[in-house]
Chain A
Amino acid sequence: MTDGMNLTLNIWRQTGPDDKGSIHSYQVEGISSDMSFLEMLDVLNEQLNARGEEPIAFDSDCREGICGMCSLMINGEAHGPEVTTTCQLHMRSFKDGDTITIEPWRASAFPVIKDLVVDRGALDRIIQSGGYISANTGSAPEANSVPVPRDKAMRAFNVATCIGCGACVAACPNGSASLFVGAKITHLGELPQGQPERYSRVVDMVGQHDHEGFGGCTNIGECAAACPKEIPLDVISQLNKDLRTALKQGH
């Protein structure tokens, strides 16, 4: 490969949850600009495997930007320099000779499991605490019996695209998951079906968010810049507004 890039990778390695961990440096050569970032790491892992060093653990599944499994802090940016997921980041965003630092998401609510893999179960628990509409199977009315104004449906959809990746937490200087929570609150709160539980939902979800040890939001805005699904900051405004209403209503 004549047009390949040579790169220096500084990668966080940590053998397990109790290990202290540290940055290790690796070289890769002949990386094509059409490769995805994770394919570049696959190449590195093949090399490590060949020389008897355990491959680097990192999460990925769909590799098409929708499951939210991939993570990685790349040169200080969650999911790297483009507005997309790590699996959809391509090596054409880098150039020959670059040094790339790769770290796991850092938050006490996301403990490191190994190398670059973290546990994001806290986000599931936030959903368990109220991120749903209670509609038992079989109890649903005819779908078109409740029209939803198109703009509300659009807004609900736009924020429902959150993939639960946790980049917002990783990027936020406070380690807050407010963008994630706000996205769900806004999604369900925009729809008529979401009204009955609206205010208990916001209190329970924020309560769980705090309980998990995420930081409080101080409206810094790095979360929205890191979000691969471009969830806008107004979901946090909506979250605050709903909580304020809940407060007024005595929740």
Chain B
Amino acid sequence: MADPVTKHPTLIEGARASRTSIALKFLMAVSGLVFVGFVLGHMYGNLKAFAGHDAFNEYAHHLRELGEPMLPHEGFLWIMRVGLLVALVVHVWAAVALWRRAQKARPIKYVVKKHTGAIPASRLMRTGGLTILIFLVWHLINFTIGKVNVQGGETDDPYNLLVDTFDVWWMTLIYLAAMAMLGAHLHHGVWSACQTLGITGTAQSRARAKTLSLALAIVIAGGFSLVPIAVLAGIID
């Protein structure tokens, strides 16, 4: 018998805050927000395409010189890349851990199940995340690592690569589909991150987080989609 005076009675010995499912969620939320920051910046960069060939390339070039001479050439870029990579590993790892936990928590499914109270986006997180992951692999091959020009044109001019890519209707389609998924991911994700970080303690702040979430989803998914659409429509060429 434990001594109730000296010991705080509990069933589980040595529970640690850092080992809980909520800690996993913190990682998920923080890494997710890192992504949000990145895509916002990235989207801003992409929109430079509307300013024309030179402005866009200038921007890409500028990115590589950012922080010089404090940082070596491409220093900022690499810091960002490492940061993103870490975030990616953490985000995906936590996502998989939570997913498996959920799988185990309900081994037998319902015959009939309604989803009252859930926005559709919330239930698309996992498929959505996976889609984004696959998209990302292709995207990096497309623009950064492999520099694949589906039209066979030049690859070392970012602007031209971009235009060549989205001149192909199915490439645009792939990107737009991915952006739809990203939008959905953010529609739930941003709200979810606020909730996870515990800043939605009142009905009012909850409503605000939901609005923010929707707004960011539209801005980001919409902002990214503008360039491919504009290219396909011939506004950018």
Contact = CB atoms under 8 A, between A and B. Distances in A.
> Is chain B in direct contact with chain A in the complex (CB below 8 A)?
yes
A204 B19 CA distance: 11
Interface string A69-88: 00001011100000000000
A103 B110 contact: yes
Given A221-B122, A234-B202, A237-B198, A207 B109 contact: no
Interface stretch (A27-35, A46-54, A140-148, A225-233): A225-233
Contacts of A128: 9-11
Interface in B1-46: 8-12, 15-26
Given A175-B102, A216-B25, A234 B206 contact: yes
B17 A246 contact: yes
B110 A75 contact: no
A220 B98 CA distance: 13
Interface string B87-119: 000000000001001101111111111111111
A211 B105 CA distance: 11
A106 B57 CA distance: 56
Nearest to A209: B21
A76 B110 contact: yes
B21 A217 contact: yes
B123 interface: yes
Contacts of B110: 73, 76, 103, 106
B112 A103 contact: yes
B203 A234 contact: yes
A129 interface: yes
A226 to B, nearest CB: 7
Which of A77, A202, A219 counts the most B-chain CB atoms under 10 A from its CB?
A219
B192 interface: yes
A130 B109 CA distance: 31
B15 A220 contact: no
Output the residue of A103, A129, A203 with the most chain B CB within 10 A: A203
A218 B192 CA distance: 7
B70 to A, nearest CB: 32
Contacts of B199: 237, 241
A176 B25 CA distance: 13
Contact of B195 (A12, A103, A226, A236): A236
Given A76-B114, A173-B123, A207-B20, A237 B12 contact: no
A241 B15 contact: no
Contact of A103 (B105, B111, B119): B111
B32 to A, nearest CB: 11
B105 A213 contact: yes
B198 A238 contact: yes
Contact of B116 (A222, A233, A239): A222
B220 interface: no
26 contacts: A73-B110, A76-B113, A101-B111, A109-B105, A125-B11, A128-B10, A129-B11, A129-B12, A174-B101, A175-B102, A175-B106, A203-B17, A204-B15, A209-B21, A213-B104, A215-B98, A216-B24, A216-B102, A218-B192, A219-B122, A219-B192, A220-B117, A234-B205, A239-B198, A240-B22, A247-B26
Given A174-B102, A213-B105, A219-B122, 4 more contacts: A108-B105, A221-B122, A240-B26, A251-B17
